[in-house]
Amino acid sequence: METGARTPTNDGEIPWNPLEDLSLEQLRQRTSIKWRAHPSDVLPLWVAEMDVRLAPAVADALHRAIDAGDTGYPAGTAYAEALGAYAAQQWGWDGFAVSRTALVPDVMMGVVAVLRLVTDPGDAVVVNPPVYAPFYAFVSHDARRIVEAPLADDHRISLASLEAAFQRARAQGSKVAYLLSNPHNPTGTVHTREELTAVAQLARSYRVRVVSDEIHAPLVLPGARFTPYLSVPGSEDAFALTSASKGWNLAGLKAALAMAGPEAAADLRRMPEEVSHGPSHLGIIAHTAAYRDGQDWLMALIRGLDANRALLGKLVATHLPGIRYQPPEGTYLAWLDCRRLGLEADLTGEVGHGELAVVSDLAGVAQMFLDRAHVALSSGHVFGPGGAGHVRLNFATSPDILTEAVTRMGQAVRDLQQA
């Protein structure tokens, strides 16, 4: 597989693209779930891992720690300090407070820990489907009830739907939380400051505690701007959770931060001490280095993702004209509406085991592409109502792999239609 073409900049230089560093043969040597869940002839565009090397700043920090034998227990607030400086520089957020943060193992374990602070078993947690599948699994497995406020047809938050869900949840229980995906997974919607301010006002009026999952915050693409939920008026009693995991491809190096608004600080202090024992020391070192010294690498990555976002639009138009593609504003995830293909299955029952559920046992569109095109995608049904007939495609790969995958998908659809 040859290296994809790159467009020179105004000064004639060809910008470096981290997504072009590794060949398919090199990627197949990886032992992570993305490259081990399916046979070697499958192109895996499903789970949220990127096909990149570590950012040099992160790799250097880890090498220094290994060389020094610095593999003990974590200490200090360097991680939170690095995130605070990054947030001020990149998002203009000067309200970040290190004193209102807590270490958690990863974002979803942190979500569970925070929900335990503000809800009790049997209480309601509102979500916006289609939404990240572990929201369903983690919340329901912790004995909370899901109340759904579906996104609007344009993939944005519907305030009317959200208010109706708040009313239902408030009528059924004493405590209510709202688990927000910001930016939204799987649609790639980046909520605006105006939208989040309206959400905060609504949540305050119904006494709903907002918990914002902001793991994709560094991955906002040109044309949109990320707004930290805790930076909008009305969010003072809310929480947010984030890490460098998605932005710098650090899923295997566990460490995340929970953040509290000023009125939620006392709640965060009630978090059990053992929760902070989950992150690894090397994970904290890696995430700290990413926020502190990894901006240049991230900028190069975002240029590559932006180019792939546009490339995917052209590929879909050429090879999959029956599929609707709304380019995401953030993340590296494309939410493809395949309902016009007529392949969606009647999939019922409990939403699977989250994003890591292998799609090989699923019917419908994702299964068809796996069987006929040897391309692994995330099946839309696991993201809740509104997901059937959709697939989520991870375009954080090389342009060549992306082109090959969509070409295969198009051929599979044509073969099926001609059968």
CA distance 25 to 374: 16
Is domain 18-55+295-418 annotated with CATH 3.90.1150.10?
Answer: yes
Name the band, by pLDDT with cuts 50, 70 and 90, for residue 344.
low
Structure tokens at 400: 């060549």
123 DSSP 8-state letter: -
* Residue 357 binned pLDDT confidence (cut-offs 50, 70, 90): very low
Q: Which CATH class is domain 59-293?
A: alpha beta
Q: What is the mean pLDDT of residues 166-193?
A: 96
Strands (E), 173-218: 176-181, 209-213
pLDDT, tens digit (0-9, with 9 covering 90-100), for 228-258: 999 999 999 999 999 999 999 999 999 999 9
The predicted-structure confidence for 180-234, as pLDDT tens digits, reads as follows 999 999 999 999 999 999 999 999 999 999 999 999 999 999 999 999 999 999 9
Output the pLDDT for position 14: 61
Confidence grade of residue 15 (pLDDT, cut at 50, 70, 90): confident
DSSP letters spanning 343-391:
------SS--SGGGS-GGG--SHHHHIIIII-EE-EEGGGG-TT-TTEE
Residue 314 predicted with pLDDT over 70: yes
Q: What would the pLDDT profile of 362-414 be if each residue is shown by its tens digit?
A: 448 999 999 999 999 999 999 999 999 999 999 999 999 999 999 999 999 99
> What digits encode the pLDDT tens for the residues 56-112?
999 999 999 999 999 999 999 999 999 999 999 999 999 999 999 999 999 999 999
What are the start and end residues of each CATH 3.40.640.10 domain in the chain? 59-293
Contacting residues for 274 by C-beta, under 8 A, at least 6 apart: none
**Residue range(s) occupied by CATH 3.90.1150.10 in the chain:** 18-55+295-418
Categorise residue 56: left if φ over 0, alpha if ψ from -120 to 50, beta otherwise. Answer: alpha
Instruction: Identify residue 22 by its one-letter amino acid code.
Output: L
Residue 1 pLDDT: 31
pLDDT surpasses 60 at 361? no
As a whole number, the mean pLDDT across the chain is 92
Of the chain, the percentage scoring pLDDT greater than 90 comes to 89
